[in-house]
Amino acid sequence: MSETVKYVLDEARIPRTWYNINADLPAPLAPALHPATKEPVSPADLAPLFPQGVIEQELSTERSIEIPEPVRDVYRQWRPSPLYRARRLEQALDTPARIYYKYEGVSPVGSHKPNTAIPQAFYNYAEGVPRITTETGAGQWGSSLALAGAMFGLDIEVYMVGISYRQKPYRRAFMESFGAGCIASPSERTAFGRSVLAEDPDSAGSLGIAIGEAVEEAVQRADTHYALGSVLNHVLLHQTVTGLEAKEQLAMADDYPDTVIACTGGGSNFAGIVFPFLGDALRGGSDLEAIAVEPLACPTLTRGCFAYDYGDSAQLTPLTKMHTLGSGFVPPGFHAGGLRYHGMAPQISHLRALGYLEARAYEQLECFAAGLRFAQAEGIIPAPEANHAVKGVIDEALACREHGTSKAILFNLCGHGNFDMQAYTDYLAGNLSDLAGSEVEAAMALSGLPSVAG
């Protein structure tokens, strides 16, 4: 048997600043464009949706941005999160690779998402905005914002993708327990929701539709802002708290990663663990292999085009240049709800276009198999999303064995799977299958091409 190797930081070592990769990009990001005028968005354009603190961060090129003390104080509830050396997994794989994982499942909702929900709620609270709308797919983001709303006394309204609302009643109860409201999307509450229902009364909903409804409500009400749980620069910024902590923890281990791996839905947990190390590489210190892992059923980075597109199906959001499958893309059903978004963070898309990161896509069955292998070695059941990262890590570790080379692999175990037992039940019963490529092709054909040339 191997021993448990865990690197724990004192809470005084919670980072005091987030890391902004915009400061180190070799070429600047393409600007976001106003959806009507197609001109670069100004801070004033974003004011109906976001507080000033968030807007400044969205556009900032400053390298270090201070984490407000009230945010650090809530972070202390579960941060710094532990970093583990996966000794038992290394042994099970008989690999010379050194595998480390940052475990974000210790947050109150079991994933990394509160790292940005807390500051987003704080900046709204600090500016006197009492109410925030948002969307959620499987419920992870809605739960995180519900938690954050409870911490700062804000009303939270969550538009939840209709099919998940019906299939995951526990998630809804979780949000309501924190005092948030939860509405099945598409709904009758918004003009966009009504238009979708008029066309298809049985619509299962999608993230793009739910975002459209949440944004519509925020734009129309003076007392209400909107919050997004991934994709945008400020969200990725907030998540860097994970990579910054991991850097200190790896220093305790006297190590530094050669390879950093994470799953990518909108890209925030990937950015969180990768950007602080990629920043070192960009400033000339080192080489870094960064690997983004996504599902073959929603292959945004590996199959999408890099072009201006909307963030939502209602086409209300600014256009951003990103890898996208089209704002109308509705992926075929698979059990990693957090990885179903049609777009990818502009910062990650940009870095991929510049050649700083690699992307891979896997089938769901091989990801579940990898997740169980990890669980049985390490004693933590990963979220179905995180299984994609685990699959990428195992492949890298096995390649090390084959080539007789050692390297340090760091990955983000972005959440536990304890709320996802239906997915594991289906997998263990043999009721899950890989999706036929033709289903993905069909979904891509229907999704609508981005409407502004890149």
Alpha carbon of residue 426 to chain centroid: 24
Q: Which is nearer to ligand PLP, 371 or 415 (CB)?
A: 415
Q: What's the min distance (Å) between Cβ of 285 and ligand PLP? A: 26
Q: What's the min distance (Å) between Cβ of 275 and ligand PLP? A: 12
Q: Which is nearer to ligand PLP, 185 or 190 (CB)?
A: 185
Return the residue matching tokens 């959001």: 317
Q: What's the min distance (Å) between Cβ of 115 and ligand PLP? A: 10
Q: Which is nearer to ligand PLP, 400 or 414 (CB)?
A: 414
Q: What's the min distance (Å) between Cβ of 98 and ligand PLP? A: 24
Q: Which is nearer to ligand PLP, 190 or 268 (CB)?
A: 268
Rounded CA separation 97/398 (Å): 8
Q: Which residues bind ligand PLP (CB under 6 A)?
A: 111, 113, 140-141, 230, 263-270, 338-339, 383, 385-386, 414-415
Q: Which is nearer to ligand PLP, 113 or 168 (CB)?
A: 113
Q: Which is nearer to ligand PLP, 90 or 229 (CB)?
A: 229
Q: What's the min distance (Å) between Cβ of 338 and ligand PLP? A: 3
Q: Which is nearer to ligand PLP, 212 or 384 (CB)?
A: 384
Name which of 175, 145, 159, 268 is nearest 209 in CA terms: 159
Q: What's the min distance (Å) between Cβ of 110 and ligand PLP? A: 8
Q: What's the min distance (Å) between Cβ of 258 and ligand PLP? A: 22
